[in-house]
Structure 1
């Protein structure tokens, strides 16, 4: 699952840590046309140049906002005044008679877009590409910025860059920008007026370990490390593609990854939580406490893969992605939202069935979650139905969704399974589950046929839903929200039920 690479630019890759002999400049990811984080947060900016202690003056829109001295590594840094959404603004830095400037700077919300190849999947690979780029260009408040692949064994100070900040356009940069990342911004901009700065940092085929700092990895059971340097090694992508941008003040992050960890779901449940917590802490600290230490984090619950019946792997990772609750936010993953994608198979995708082209649906579902969780908009139905009550009567099980408060739609009778045993304490293994079709439903509930449990194993010991790598045809899983068309996520529940 190597990511799509198509570079027509000189890669900017600066990883030195001492700059005493250099002329004053901004760090390489501060550039014309960028978005800085709006109020109430203060945007943290930094750069290099001049001798130790050299005076540095920072000016915004003609007004001096800070005068400071470079530190003993030749680095200067400053928090700009909290600035309301909008622009454009001009920012300049002067030291020892040299001035460098940023122009056309907008203040808005900065989002990080990270993960593996489905986050890297580019705009020109989706079916409605031209119309979406036109829409992005018409918004006038979107900016994009893409980091390059960089696997290193120590944290770098500045990232490698594919292209620096720009507005979306009819150009190769937009062609090869992350589809989920840009469409997510387009969807948000339909309902929110502030500018959005989208930072793409991803690498196809990589595991969560590569994106996690040593501190995050230490929070979970350790695996034997590989010896050769490659993008799958623990922390190497954190070092090269996350650590350098930690000083940016950001609003939130979205994540599409998990395929490469499908064989280790129980470990992933710990690692994913630890990575989110660690990113939050480190962005907060590196931005001088301006990025929230609980910034919103959205993710894509894995889409289907192969057109065959496979009960393990992706289904287990989907559960692990929710810290084994089945839904987010939850007590373990707070201020987290997700897009359920298990009903979006694309077996004929030119990029392979593991790379579905339906990024518009995924981004739209992510944006709904962001509006409800990250932006706190009221009356936003951003989640599919989730079971809240189970009851058994004879050979029937009734499952009520959302405490009976939200109507559901049934699109097929398939997708539920039960495991049987002589008692409720029967341990439900990976195998041994049998189909329990929907035999009826009400406005907010489904009734399952449990007649498959009989004889010495007549007790229902567990029930699960959509527990397959590819559980249904396109938008044809069993349960959806009636008014939202959002799919119910997979779940597993063990007895007791009544």
Structure 2
């Protein structure tokens, strides 16, 4: 190569490097919401050694940060109480302005299709909202469906102000969750939707956690591949979760499980590992609230949905988690996508209002089986979260079944007494176990005084019949 041409190329590279633009990830952009009263991270890319001034309108002091030799930079800044809109200025060799920024509460919303479902899927709840939904204090960040075999550092997305246009394609559950928080907390709300219909929890979990656990690896091998969604561990975690983990959040909500009904035996282990991995990536134990999957006819196996719901209930033992039970919000058990997303979002919001924000007087916990005692030809059951007593709507309690040592369940007679249920069956002298709403599609009619449905349960651990 001629020396003159070589010199020109070197000069061109040096000139290009010297004018490399200051760049931020997509999640830090116009219209975003930053977590209030917190230390949040701003980060991005710039030329190695480039000094960047960070000007925050709520802080008279100008902070500075220098890009590393790897051309990356990050800085921790403190945010004030809820407010805005603000303009944040970052000035290096070029200047970036982040406009219309709000300070409030930021939540990640993830899962499979019941979290993804939006007005574009014909939801009546969303259609009714469109004329009245415009709210400058609710912001959406919708991450498109993407996979990667290694952890990524950015996504192709942007923040949008809530209006009839942006709501149509956004998660309905996430919107109704955010709308209630916005109303009850009276602060701006930022919602990050990262969901993909049909996906098993394995794809949202870092691959090593699945592949290095023999039981989880074996279960993952049983997943049914489909042309509609990924199934290999870690693929959506790498592309749709990892890039946003530097973002300070208040917590996460989750609606998923239908695609794991065939591997329910390992779901609690998988799910808790997934939650733990997200918290480790973010660096703190944020609250994680999830929806128990709804009644649905999964086919010839009449119990696999119940077993998955049981695994979700067991996850409540994991720290800082909460579960919204929605057995009463289903009007068609042949549709895996219940239409009522408004009340699902509201129940998740009630968990956050009470458990995260300390609001008093919020009903958020469904009644939960606690213990049993055999008393001759009866079984007495005790329930938590049943203050004010249990009530049956529409007549006698239904979906209770009782069995003796032969493990043959028969319909039970049930008497509700405060936080107890006394269960028996004519002709059964030595009962051993009780099940409630413990099939794929059964819907019970027992509620606590606050109107929340009794969580499906079984007292036995007998192998699947």
Does TM, normalized by the shorter one, top 0.5?
A: yes
Cα gap change, 1:150 to 1:437, in 2 (>3 Å): same
- What is the aligned partner in structure 1 of residue 155 from structure 2? 159
Structure 1 or 2: more helix by fraction: 2
CA distance in 2, matches of 1:450, 1:206: 42
- What is the aligned partner in structure 2 of residue 103 from structure 1? 99
1:55-90: CA deviation from partner (whole Å, max 9, x where unpaired): 111111284532111112211211122321111111
- What is the aligned partner in structure 1 of residue 312 from structure 2? 321
CA distance in 2, matches of 1:197, 1:404: 34
Unmatched segments (≥5 aa) in structure 1: 1-18, 285-292, 423-427
- How does the TM-score come out when normalised to structure 2? 0.87
- What is the aligned partner in structure 2 of residue 300 from structure 1? 291
Cα gap change, 1:170 to 1:136, in 2 (>3 Å): closer
Cα gap change, 1:322 to 1:385, in 2 (>3 Å): closer
Cα gap change, 1:479 to 1:54, in 2 (>3 Å): same
Alignment RMSD (CA, Å): 2.5
1:242-301: CA deviation from partner (whole Å, max 9, x where unpaired): 0111111111000000000001111111000111111011111xxxxxxxx110101000
- What is the aligned partner in structure 2 of residue 247 from structure 1? 246
1:52-201 aligned within 5 A = 52-61=48-57, 63-96=60-93, 98-124=94-120, 125-138=122-135, 140-161=136-157, 164-171=158-165, 173-201=166-194
For residue 135 of structure 1, report the CA deviation from its aligned partner: 4.5
Residue 430 of structure 2: which of 435, 450, 459 is its match?
459
Conservation of the 8 A alpha-carbon contact between 2:258 and 2:293? yes
For residue 478 of structure 1, report the CA deviation from its aligned partner: 2.5
Mean CA deviation greater in 386-395 or 296-305 = 386-395
CA distance in 2, matches of 1:346, 1:38: 39
- What is the aligned partner in structure 1 of residue 416 from structure 2? 441
Conservation of the 8 A alpha-carbon contact between 1:434 and 1:452? no
For residue 405 of structure 1, report the CA deviation from its aligned partner: 3.5
Asked if 1:378 corresponds to 2:360, the answer is yes
Unmatched segments (≥5 aa) in structure 2: 1-16
Conservation of the 8 A alpha-carbon contact between 1:135 and 1:186? no
For residue 116 of structure 1, report the CA deviation from its aligned partner: 0.5
Higher alpha-carbon Rg = 2
Conservation of the 8 A alpha-carbon contact between 1:35 and 1:106? yes
For residue 378 of structure 1, report the CA deviation from its aligned partner: 2.6
For residue 30 of structure 1, report the CA deviation from its aligned partner: 1.1
Asked if 1:486 corresponds to 2:448, the answer is no
- What is the aligned partner in structure 1 of residue 25 from structure 2? 27
CA distance in 2, matches of 1:410, 1:20: 72
1:182-237: CA deviation from partner (whole Å, max 9, x where unpaired): 11001112211221100000111010000001343245723257799961111000
- What is the aligned partner in structure 1 of residue 207 from structure 2? 214
Residue 362 of structure 1: which of 335, 340, 344 is its match?
344
CA distance in 1, matches of 2:282, 2:51: 27
